[in-house]
Amino acid sequence: MDAKVKRAFEAGIETYAQTEQIDAAAFAVALQEAFEKEAPFLEKVQALDETFDDHQRFEELREIYFDLLMVNFFAADVQKLEEDYLDSPEWEAIEEETIDRGTELLNIFLYLQECEDDDIDPSLDDYLKEFLLVEEDEFQDEYAIYEKVIANQILVDSTFSEIHKVASSLAPHDELKELFYSIMSFFNEPYPEAEHLANYLEASANKPFDAALYQIIVNFNK
């Protein structure tokens, strides 16, 4: 497993289990086996889904860990395949089959990897304008998804409680409804200390999920 993915993988499970006060040992072992399985990507996805099916207490993390599985595939597994594999008909078919899987967190992971490669600090403005290209006419789908983020960029200089207040106001069908609080909080404080984490958790309405998600992003960024 890629080192950045492994840090995020472990932090998310540990934080979710601690906050929810449940045992994660068997789940973590089974999920790690899915990630490290020597098999085509779709077989890894099947193994991931079987693990979540067997451990329903962790269900709300399923699509988040699909994103991690995908980015781990890009970081670790692709190196073992043909050089142009991601341009192959086989990968196009996989993308088509999994088009409804995962979340916008995958873009966050890819952006943070790009920041590391370019040796720059992540910022919301850079993410929106230089990575997602939301100001370009041909990327209006991204603009639509991130419209509330774009409209509330001032929150990166605000408080966790203010971020959560805006997150709570998003419509139920908004694609970033569940992720808004964690993503905006990360860009507000990408290197949280214990006091930040306590304040973040206090403002959350879904503490296990929000705590795990923040820790996943923060640890991926280390």
Q: What does the pLDDT read at residue 85?
A: 81
The pLDDT of residue 78 is: 74
pLDDT value at position 63? Answer: 98
Length of the chain: 222
In this structure, the answer to whether residues 52 and 153 fall within a common structural domain is no
Q: In terms of domains, do 9 and 37 share one?
A: yes
3-state DSSP of 5-55: HHHHHHHHHHHHHHHHCCCCHHHHHHHHHHHHCCCCHHHHHHHHHHHHHHC
For residues 76 and 134, state if they share a domain.
no
First to last CA, the chain: 16
| Confidence (pTM) | 0.95
* 108 and 211 part of one domain: yes
User: Do residues 71 and 136 share a domain?
Assistant: no
Print pLDDT tens along the chain (222 aa): 999 999 999 999 999 999 999 999 999 999 999 999 989 999 999 999 999 999 999 999 999 999 999 999 988 877 777 677 888 888 889 999 999 999 999 999 999 999 999 999 999 999 999 999 999 888 888 999 999 999 999 999 999 999 999 999 999 999 999 999 999 999 999 999 999 999 999 999 999 999 999 999 999 998
Q: Which of 102, 122, 137 is the last residue of a domain?
A: 102
Residues 64 and 152 in one domain: no
- The pLDDT assigned to 77 comes to 77
Count the Cβ atoms, other than its own, within 10 Å of residue 1. Answer: 17
* 107 & 138 share domain: yes
Q: Identify whether residues 107 and 97 lie together within a single domain.
A: no
How much is the pLDDT for 137?
84
Domain stop point among 72, 102, 132: 102
Which range marks the domain in which residue 111 is found?
103-222
Longest dimension (CA), the chain: 49
What is the number of domains present in the chain? 2
Kindly provide the b/e burial profile for residues 55-87, where b requires at least 16 CB atoms within 10 angstroms of the residue's own CB. Answer: beebebbbbbbbbbbbbbbbbbbeeeeeeeeee
Return the pLDDT at 157. Answer: 96
**Calpha distance 87→71 (Å, rounded):** 16
Residues 41 and 108 in one domain: no
Domain-terminating residue out of 62, 82, 102: 102
| Residues 6+ positions from 6 with CB-CB distance below 8 Å | none
Q: What is the pLDDT of residue 127?
A: 97
pLDDT at 186: 98
